[in-house]
Every structure is written in C-alpha cells, then in structure tokens.
Structure 1
C-alpha cells in the first residue's frame, strides 16, 4: 500500500472517531451576584421594580413580616403590583404529607390557572388532580390509562383551556384525551404521517418523542423526537405541518416562544438550541442558534415573551438566553457544527469534568450552577409572573433538591426533597422509605425530575424518584411560610407521612400506597 493510501486511510479513521472534548482552561463561573443579572432584574423586563432609594428606605423602616408588608402596601400612595409584594415569598416549608406512587413520576405541572395538577408516570398513567382545594393531598378525579406506549411516558402537556391532555412515549404517536371524567376514550395523533406536495400521505421512519407542548390556542402541538427532528402538528386537520430536521442528535426539548406560536425553540443532544420563526420557513431553516452548552440539552422553558428562555444542560449548568443575541444561521453554517460533548452516560456516570466549561462562541446571558443534571432529563422553569415578575428561576436536581435562583445568580432557596421523602430510624441507623417501609441505604437520595411553581400562590410541587432503584415516586408540596426563623414545635416539625387515601376517592388501590 502506498504512503498516500495509508495517509488517506488514517485520515478516514480519524474522521469517523468521536471528537475529543476540548478544554477551555479554567471553568468560567459567573460572578455572584452578577451585574448582568442585576441589571436585567432592574430594567423592568422581569416585572415592576421599585426605585432604589425606596427599596433602601423600606428595608430600614419595615421588618419583613407579612403583616407589615400588607400595611405598607395599603398605606402607600403607590399601588404596587402583586409581584412586588410576593417577591420575598419563596417556598420554604414542606408539607408533612405527600402523594406516593408505585413508580417514578416523569413530569408534574400545574395548569395555567392553577386549578389542575397533572402527572405522567412510568406506570403508563396520566393522573389529573383538583388543585383548587386548600388541603393536600389533592383529590384525584381522573386517571388516563395509556393505550399504547414503550418503556415509559416521556412527557405530557395540558391545553390552556384545561380541556385536553396530550401524552407521548417512545413512539411517533401522541395520544389526546379529554380531562372531563365523563368522557372516555382517547385519540391517537400519528406524527409519522404527513402530506407532501404531491397530495399523498407519506410515512416517516419510526421514532420516539421526548418532549411536547400545546400551543397557546390549543390548536397545535410541537414535539421533539429522537430522529433529530422537531414536529408541528395541527390537531384540527390531523396533519404534520412542519418536520424540521436541523439538529445533529436527538431533540430532547421543545417549546413555543410566545403566545402567537410563531417562535419555536428546540434543544438537542448536539448541544445546540435552535430558534425557528414560522413566518420565514420557506427553506425550513432556523432563524438562528444559541451556543453555550458543551453537553446535551435536557429541557427548555420560555418566558413566553418571544425573547427570553432558559435551558438545562448535561454540562451541569442552567443558562438564560436572549434571542436577540443569537448567532444567525448563515454565520453558524460558516463555522460548521462541532461536537464538544465528552459523551459520558449521564444516566449512570458522574460528570467527568469541572462545571463551568463553555462553548467558545457562548452567547448566553447568564449561567447558573449548583444543581445536578444527571440520571434523567432534569427540568428547569421560570417562576410565574406572580413571583416577582418571573425574577426567579428554578430547577430540579438529581441530588434530591430544588434549586431556586434569583436573576443575578444568587441562591434564593434550596428545598431538600430527599430528606423529606424518607423516615429516619435513629436506633438502626437506616432509612425507611415512607411509602413502603423497607430498608435502603441512606445514600439512596431522591431525584427531583420536575417541579412546578403555582401560577399565583407561593408554593412548589415536586415530582421525584425515591432512591436509585427508581421503583417509587412521589409528589410533594412546598409552601412559603412566614417567620421560618422561629423554632418549630415537635408537632410542626414531625416526620413526613404518606398521604392517607380513602378507598372511595380513587379508582383502585393499585394506584397508591
């Protein structure tokens, strides 16, 4: 074999080898509090902001009790919005009861009006609860039993009018079910079917869906799949409107960017977030890309203003983005796609590098760290506008906690779900799982996969896996409680207990312990 042939073969072998992860030197962690985040919090885009001199004056004169804050609001000549009043009401107290499950819960969210709470679990059930009652646990009023699924339910979404729930699995079929307990049956929406320009229906290859969302008007569903594509489905015509194949790896996260439905976001294991504008989709090319993560992206949440979004990455960071800082598609095509991932298995392995490594073209606004994005596709969210105008960001974590940050990067609160999901027996020095009562190792921490801040009340509901065996799950409620510096009585600080569920409240005892 000639030298030229040998060199060509060597180049070919090197070309197909996975690219090595580049080192960017020392990790670049943001300063805390970060001036960029502080400026963003004070420029009015994230809710009403008091004048600085008034903030300092109020801190000197008024103690931080709810009675004094109410008095200040009522006596002031300025009518402050509720978001300013609730700025310090960050959930900090865990309810003594919780809802246990036979299986791990993959997602759990409040509806837009706070009247519903729904969960999707690995036991192929979507459970809908009436969250209007003040008592917890909430009353389950309907269980949607999955008709066709593979391995688990990957996601669920509730329409804004609370009439429909859609759920996905590792298949191209999304099921649509009514939330009314009087309406039975489901409808299968086949995302693998589309109508091309020839007028005939065409079937795409088989794939699984990882993420889906309803549009604001409830007429469309956007979904991200493991075939590297994002899909937009029209519910009325039962057709795929768009199949967008712009990613190099599985699309783990999708969402609408605004109420109009024109702006779409997609996040992939190729470490790239793509921004799509449906008003200019003739070439089916993205409007631009957001670079910054150096591992796969697990989740995306939009502020719903067509401008700001946040994302969780397997590089153990959460990032805040402003799409005005995106890189254009033409500039991105010039530099070409580069895979900076270490390809570690986030489900079983520890993150092999220091937290803080960034893409050389990082265009994110802020980077938040401290949580663990391991074991599963951990989700992150903006706090609702009622919580200081969405000035808080929060995320689940595989270390059994919910991490809550203010915009400037400071930690507002860390809720330890893991310590509340088990009963400790000091005599035997073992952890007894509250929902079953058998002994496990104390290191078997819960994994908080999802969390949901109530749209207008200061409370967060967490959806967690209990222990590394992933055999159990739970939903727990964490409220804001005033004067938490006071010492709680023994009765108030008692052990967590699973919810006592009357037989006539639920469909079967197989659903709960």
Structure 2
C-alpha cells in the first residue's frame, strides 16, 4: 500500500485498493466492466502475446518490466522495439503519485487548469481574475501572466487553442474574452498592455442575462462551444466573429459541454437537470431536441470529458458519482426521476444524504459507475487518463474532500488517492506524455505529482504528524 492513503506508485501486483466501487448500469454485474470499451482498453495496453503467455490454470499477472526489457533485447516482436501497447503496458503501471512538489501558489482559489495538447504549456486560472501560463519544458517558468477584465465571481473556464496562440476565458456573463498568448509580452493587463477581445454570446447584446460555465475550442481552432446558465449551448464561429448556433438544450443550467471528437460534428452536454445529451450538428431533429439523451445521474452534471472517439465519455455528478457512457445506448425519451429525490439538498453547502448514495436510477443507461470521491461546493472535474502513456485505462477526478482519485476504468478499483490539499480540488490534469499529474485547489496551491525517483524533497504533508514523517522536509 502506498503512502497516499489508498494508493500505490506501481500496479505490478494488481490493484492497490478496491475501496472505490464500480457498478454496471442495467446489468447488475458489479465485478468488472464487460463491454467493448473494456476489450479496446485491453488491446491498447496489453503486451505482446509472447510475453503474456501463462500455463493453463495459472493466474495471468501483469508482465514485469524486466521481462518486457529482456524480451525487447531478444527482439520477441520481430520489430526490434516496443509496440504502442507494450509501451502503455509499462508506463501505465507507474502512476504519478509521488510528491507533491510545488508549482506555484496563487492569490486566490484555483478554479481551472489544463496542459496544452503537447504538454509544453500549462494554464491555471484563479478566482481573482488571474491566469498564468507556465512553460513546462523550462522548469515551469511563467510564460504569460494575465490580469483579466473585471469578472463576476470567478473565471469559470479557460481553453487554449490547439496551436497554442490564443486563450479564451469565461465568467458568469455572456462575454467570453480571447487573448493572444503568442505575443512576446510576459504580462498581459486587459486592455492596458494588451487587448482582450470580447466575444458576445448573447442574442440581443444583453450580457447580464446569463453566464458561461464551460467553453472549449474545436480541434481546428475555428470554433468555440460554450454552456450557459440560461439552459442553452452555443457554438461561436471565430472567423465570422459571431455566434453561429444557439440551442435551448436543457431545463436547467448547462454546466459542461465539449466536442466529442476531431470532426466537431458531435457535441456532449451536461446539466443540472441531471441529463447528458448528444447533439449532432449534421442532423438536428428539431430546434432544442437532442439526437439522444443519457439518463443515470440522480443529480446535476458538473463536468463531461470525451474519450475523443465520438462514442464514449465520462461525467461527474452531484450524486457523488462518475459515470461512463456509450452514446449507442442513448434514447430519445426521458423519465422523471424527481420522485426518487424526497430530500431537500443544496450541494453548495450541505453534505449529501448518506441514504441517497444507495439510490439508483430506474433507467440507468450508463456502462459503469465509479464511487469514492465527493462532488460538493463546486463543479468538480473528471477526465480520462492520457492515451499515449496509459491507453486511457484510468479515469481521475478532483474531489471536495481535498484529494485526487484515480480509478481503473475496467475494474472500478481505486488505484490511487492523492492527499495533500486542505481545500477542494476543483481541477486536475495528467500530462499527455509524461507520468505527471497536476492538482489545482481552492487552497490556492498548484502542485505536481510524479513517479518515484525524482530525487528532490517533496512538500510536507499538512494534516498529520505521521504524514510529515512520510513526506520529509518542505521544498525550499
């Protein structure tokens, strides 16, 4: 057992913890995920057949790294190198759980964070209108320090363009601002040292009517998709400089939205009405009617992350679960789940009723449900682990209990729990290539977690004397 609660730095001996739980939507089999995505994940992270052979009747265990290296030296594959699946099999067993090491301390709560697509830059945004872009390859040097326009309450979301030239940031208003982060200036003070252009998402120019909770660039960088507190989702055409699509999508706040894949045709959305919806821009059935609906959450959706294959995605819900979905299971009709909710509860300041954790949606269409973390006070985010290093075999999420949780996609086992922060971890981000994970918290700290062998002293544990013994002295 690792030193981070119920976690481990390597999964060579199986799963480090089973305190997380997985339940199958609709088929009643709680032991493992028996679905096509499980087989795809296995194929993308399974070593060459020569190395994974076992004697009849013997338990198949993960192939050791030493055996993998020896097999490569004797050219077992006939190609003289590891295959992509071989590499994933090795890399995905060494989780980024050692540390943490401090990246930076902000002056207010950190709300959002993300790596650029190639991992060379990292963006973090705090409540008091400050966004920092770090150059990861240059020892986390601050590349751009952005002071935004006056905002309502907080920066709700940011998105970096695929070419890493532009950054958009949203707040609780209908204006999304865009900044040229490719300029040479290190400091960007809104409309003083640099222009922060406002993109108006409102229909009549009245920006006071609603706020934007989620905004994302398309893969080609030509469009933005956004989610609003007015129950609409939006698509903004950056070349035409106008909102090209407004859809009355849900019956309550839309908290999260994203493109499903590189084509930009499919859009996933999640709302406080507890529904996930799928929108195909090529074949709208009618204005305001989705191509499909996915039911299963008992409370509002806080975040959606796509597997980027146009088929699978995960969602975090205020019912304290993460769910895995296959859009081929979506339906055209919804059922009212309000009769299941016979309690008065507000996630912003109340604990979730203990008995409510045992409730199940009678028409749950999800493939699997992951439990253990908590989704309270703010819109906690969840993600698939990187394709390059892990074949997306894990999902991970922040938590209002101040931790980061990592679950095995197929078994549902909690393979790591990262404990350091003393306030909710609203966002976290796994490097697309390196075994490195960044957690961003309401305690204003941004810290990184890595695999063993870094060779420098991590930050001390904050909560117990026993933990301090594990972590040693603070990073100076």
Same fold at TM > 0.5: yes
CA distance 1:28–1:236, shift in 2 (3 Å): closer
User: 1:106·1:122 contact (CA, 8 Å) conserved in 2?
Assistant: yes
Q: Which residue of 1 aligns with 2:328?
A: 324
Residue 258 (structure 2) pairs with residue 255 (structure 1): yes
CA contact (8 A) 1:106 1:121 kept: yes
Residue of 277, 281, 284 corresponding to 1:278: 281
Cα deviation per residue 1:233-280 (whole Å; 9 max; x = unaligned)? 111111111111121110001000010000001100000001000001
Alignment of 1:235-314 (within 5 A): 235-281=238-284, 283-284=286-287, 285-314=289-318
TM-score normalised over the length of structure 2: 0.81
Q: Is the 8 A contact 2:172 2:212 kept in 1?
A: yes
Cα RMSD, aligned residues only: 2.9
Unpaired stretches in structure 2, ≥5 consecutive residues: 1-20, 186-193, 456-467
**Alignment of structure 1 residues 25-424 onto 2, 5 Å:** 29=23, 34-37=31-34, 40-44=37-41, 47-50=44-47, 54-55=51-52, 57=54, 64=64, 69-78=68-77, 79-81=82-84, 82-133=87-138, 135=139, 138-182=140-184, 184-193=194-203, 206-281=209-284, 283-284=286-287, 285-328=289-332, 331-332=333-334, 335=335, 338=338, 340-341=340-341, 342=343, 344-354=345-355, 355-407=357-409, 408-418=411-421
Q: Deviations over 1:129-173 (max 9, x none)?
A: 10113x4xx111211211131111001011111111100000000
Partners of 2:144 and 2:454 in 1: CA distance: 37
Deviations 1:416-471 (A, max 9, x none): 123xxxxxxxxxxxxxxxxxxxxxxxxxx3211111000011110010122xxxxx
Q: 1:28 to 1:175 in 2, by over 3 A?
A: closer
Q: Does structure 1 retain, via aligned residues, the 8 Å contact 2:22–2:371?
A: no
Distance 1:75 1:398 in 2: 49
Moved more, 31-40 or 68-77: 31-40
CA distance 1:254–1:340, shift in 2 (3 Å): farther
SS at 1:36 equivalent? coil
Select between 46-55 and 277-286 the one with higher mean Cα deviation.
46-55
Structure with higher Rg: it is 1
Give the deviation of 1:62 after TM superposition: 9.1
The change in CA–CA distance for 1:185 and 1:402 in structure 2 (over 3 A counts) is same
How many angstroms apart in 2 are the aligned matches of 1:28 and 1:41? Answer: 13
**TM-score (normalizing by structure 1):** 0.75
Distance of 1:308 and 1:141 partners within structure 2: 34
2:450 counterpart of 1:479: yes
Does 1:460 pair with 2:437? yes
What is the deviation of 1:483?
Answer: 12
Residue aligning to 2:460:
none
SS at match of 1:450: strand
Name the CA distance, whole Å, in 2 between partners of 1:384 and 1:286. Answer: 29
Distance 1:72-1:272 versus aligned 2 partners, 3 A rule = same
